[in-house]
Structures are given as structure tokens and as C-alpha cells.
């Protein structure tokens, strides 16, 4: 997912970031394809969906850290230009035709855009980055200030998610994102320490530990749903997402270049905005020609490949002809 950081200039991109973003975006496309094509998750939500969403938040926090002084005004401008502007443009572009097609009220549709409910993840990321930027500037990057922010965000997330629903600008999800942004920030700050454990044996250990966690969650009926937030065991949720994020980062750092995944990762914000509409259209077309889901997973694979291909064409076209409102992820 695109964030507002300008760290990765073209001449010093970290390929593992693009690789991980690309992997996470492909996972989201698969999740949405399964839902629209079959009506449900064939591969359970708990197995990967929450984890890749957390990884996106983690990478946004990772890119906040710099050795140079933090410039609040510059960062807020970047958030507006590279997150808020694409949010308004793409959600409006997608929402209006959808309203006409389904007979929805145009004013209500536009209200969902204005109130940050047209794309929950981007809305939550915008709010979280704004709050994180402000606190980072106010505490001058001090560890204690960010730890307090993480604690407040965690408490607020639990309070809001258990008492309210459909909060404007996804405030409860933004609160959830704050400690994850802090995790990414601290990881980057102490990356040399973490990097010592990015080897094959450590990755294997993390993978085995993750499998054990997932089996436990499955047998105990633990939910990791984060939109709407319906986590029923926060200790397991934190442990699961912490271990999985470290595993994914470790794996991405050890892999070589995977061009198509990195290309996807660089354009993930466009993929995300179309990750609902394209699976819906492809699923509808396949069902009309007698290629609906019949219990055979190979058909889901075909649908997914079509979804990825069409979304890639759209992403290429937008970056080619509408570069003023998007950019390759930084």
C-alpha cells in the first residue's frame, strides 16, 4: 500500500519493501476474489488476511524513520498529496457509477467519501499517519512519547470498537494502526539488531511458531477480524501479528528480485482501490458464461488470475496517463 513517505528514491529503493507490498496486495486480491466469486473465504480469513493488512501498516511506520530531523509540514503535505488526494479521486470515481448502477442515492454515496467510509483502510491510514506525525514531531522522536501513543491507541481501539460502529474516518481502525506504525518505526530505528536474525534458521523457527499459533486459533475459535474489529483474544492477536510480520519481513529480505511482485508493490494503492470492483465484475462475468464456482478451487485460481491481469492493466494505465494523482510507492 502506498504511504506518504518519500524515503525510497528511485536510486536507492529497498526491493524487499516493494516485494512485501506486492505479496500483501496479491493476498488481498485473492481474498476479495474468493469472497465475490464464491460468496465466502475458501482459505480462512484468520490464516492470512489480517496479517497482510498489519504488514501494510508496519511498512508505513517503517518508512517514517529517518536519520534526518522530522519535518512535520513536509510530512502533512505528503499525506495530503499521496494519500488523501488519491482517496478522494478514486473513491469518487468508483462510487458514482456504482450508485447509478445500483440505484443508490448520490448524496449518500458522496457522504461516504467525505466521512472516510468509502475505503476503510486508506481512511484509517490517513488518520493514523496524521496523528503519528504530530506526536513524532511533538516528542522529537523520543521512545517514551511513541510508547505512550501506542498505549493510548490500543486502549482507544478497544474502547471504540466495543461500543461504537461505523465511526467516521475509521477512527477505531486508525487507533489500531498506531501501535503497528510504532512497531515499524522502532524496527527501522533498531534494524541492525533485527537484521541479525534474518537468516534461514530464524525464518524457519518463526514459520513453525506461526503454524502453531494458527492451529491454536483454529481449534479455539479465535477471531482476528479487523474490519469491522471483532478480535476476541487480543493477546493472541498481538502475538500472531508480531510473529507473522517478522516472518514476512525476514522472508522478503532473503528473497532475490521478483520483478512482477515488486512492480505490483510499487503500484499497490491503485490495486487496492480496484480490489473490490474488479473481482466483482470478473465474478459476475464468469457466472454469466457458466463459469461460476462449483466447488473446484481451480476455478477460483482462474478468476484470481483474471482479476490480477485486469487490475494490472488498470494500474499501468493510471500510472502511465494519470501520474499527477499517483506515484510509485515510496
**How far is residue 59's CA from residue 182's CA, in Å, rounded to a whole number?**
10
What is the distance, to the nearest Å, from the Cα of residue 125 to the centroid of all Cα atoms in its chain?
A: 9
For residue 4, the model assigns a pLDDT of 63
Residue in the block written with cell 449518500: 108
**How far is residue 51's CA from residue 179's CA, in Å, rounded to a whole number?**
15
pLDDT along the chain (330 residues), means of 10: 54 82 97 95 94 97 92 93 93 76 71 91 97 95 95 96 91 97 96 88 95 96 94 96 97 92 95 92 92 92 97 95 71
For residue 329, the model assigns a pLDDT of 54
Half-sphere exposure of 132 (CA within 13 A, CB side): 36
Query: Under DSSP, is residue 274 helix (H, G, I), strand (E, B) or coil?
Result: coil
Please list, in sequence order, all residues whose beta carbon lies within 8 angstroms of the beta carbon of residue 166, skipping any fewer than 6 positions away: 117
In a domain, 160, yes or no: yes
In a domain, 72, yes or no: yes
Other C-beta atoms closer than 10 Å to the C-beta of 135 total 20
In a domain, 328, yes or no: no
197 is in which domain, residue-wise? 10-321
In a domain, 22, yes or no: yes
In a domain, 326, yes or no: no
Compute φ and ψ for 289, nearest 5 degrees: -100, 15
Compute φ and ψ for 299, nearest 5 degrees: -70, -35
Range 96-105, long-range pairs (CB < 8 A, 24+ positions): 98/277
**How far is residue 65's CA from residue 139's CA, in Å, rounded to a whole number?**
14
**Total domains in the fold of the chain:** 1
In a domain, 271, yes or no: yes
For residue 7, the model assigns a pLDDT of 45
In a domain, 41, yes or no: yes
3-state helix, strand, coil in the chain (%, to 5): 75, 0, 25
Query: Under DSSP, is residue 224 helix (H, G, I), strand (E, B) or coil?
Result: strand
Nearest alpha carbon to residue 262 among 7, 65, 20: 20
For residue 11, the model assigns a pLDDT of 37
For residue 6, the model assigns a pLDDT of 47
Any idea what DSSP says for residue 230?
Answer: E
Contact 179, 52 (CB under 8 A): no
In a domain, 165, yes or no: yes
Amino acid at each position: 500500500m502506498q504511504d506518504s513517505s518519500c524515503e525510497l528514491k528511485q536510486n536507492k529503493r529497498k526491493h524487499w519493501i516493494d516485494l512485501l507490498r506486492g505479496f500483501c496486495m496479491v493476498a488481498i486480491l485473492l481474498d476479495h476474489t474468493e469472497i465475490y466469486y464464491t460468496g465466502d473465504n475458501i482459505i480462512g480469513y484468520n490464516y492470512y488476511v489480517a496479517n497482510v493488512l498489519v504488514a501494510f501498516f508496519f511498512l508505513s511506520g517503517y518508512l517514517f524513520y529517518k536519520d534526518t530531523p522530522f519535518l512535520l509540514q513536509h510530512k502533512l503535505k505528503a499525506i495530503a498529496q499521496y494519500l488523501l488526494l488519491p482517496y478522494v479521486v478514486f473513491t469518487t470515481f468508483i462510487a458514482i457509477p456504482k450508485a447509478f448502477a445500483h440505484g443508490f442515492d448520490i448524496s449518500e454515496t458522496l457522504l461516504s467519501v467525505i466521512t472516510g467510509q468509502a475505503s476503510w483502510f486508506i481512511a484509517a491510514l490517513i488518520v493514523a499517519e496524521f496523528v503519528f506525525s504530530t506526536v513524532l514531531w511533538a516528542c522529537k522522536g523520543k521512545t517514551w512519547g511513541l510508547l505512550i501513543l501506542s498505549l493510548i491507541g490500543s486502549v482507544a481501539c478497544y474502547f471504540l470498537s466495543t461500543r461504537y460502529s461505523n465511526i467516521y474516518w475509521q477512527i477505531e481502525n486508525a487507533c489500531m494502526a498506531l501501535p503497528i506504525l510504532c512497531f515499524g518505526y522502532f524496527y527501522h530505528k533498531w534494524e541492525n539488531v533485527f537484521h541479525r536474525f534474518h537468516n534461514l534458521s530464524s525464518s524457519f523457527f518463526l514459520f513453525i511458531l506461526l503454524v502453531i499459533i494458527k492451529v491454536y486459533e483454529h481449534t479455539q475459535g479465535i477471531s482476528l477480524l479487523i474490519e469491522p474489529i471483532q478480535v476476541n483474544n487480543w493477546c493472541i492477536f498481538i502475538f500472531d501479528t508480531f510473529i507473522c510480520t517478522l516472518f514476512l519481513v525476514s522472508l522478503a529480505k532473503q528473497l532475490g528480485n521478483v520483478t512482477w511482485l515488486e512492480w505490483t508493490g510499487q503500484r499497490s494503492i491503485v490495486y487496492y482501490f480496484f480490489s473490490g470492483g474488479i473481482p466483482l465484475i470478473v465474478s459476475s462475468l464468469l457466472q454469466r458464461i457458466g463459469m461460476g464456482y462449483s466447488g473446484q478451487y481451480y476455478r477460483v485460481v482462474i478468476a484470481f488470475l483474471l482479476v490480477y491481469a485486469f487490475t494490472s492493466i488498470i494500474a499501468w494505465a493510471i500510472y502511465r496517463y494519470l501520474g499527477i494523482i499517483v506515484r510509485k510507492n515510496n
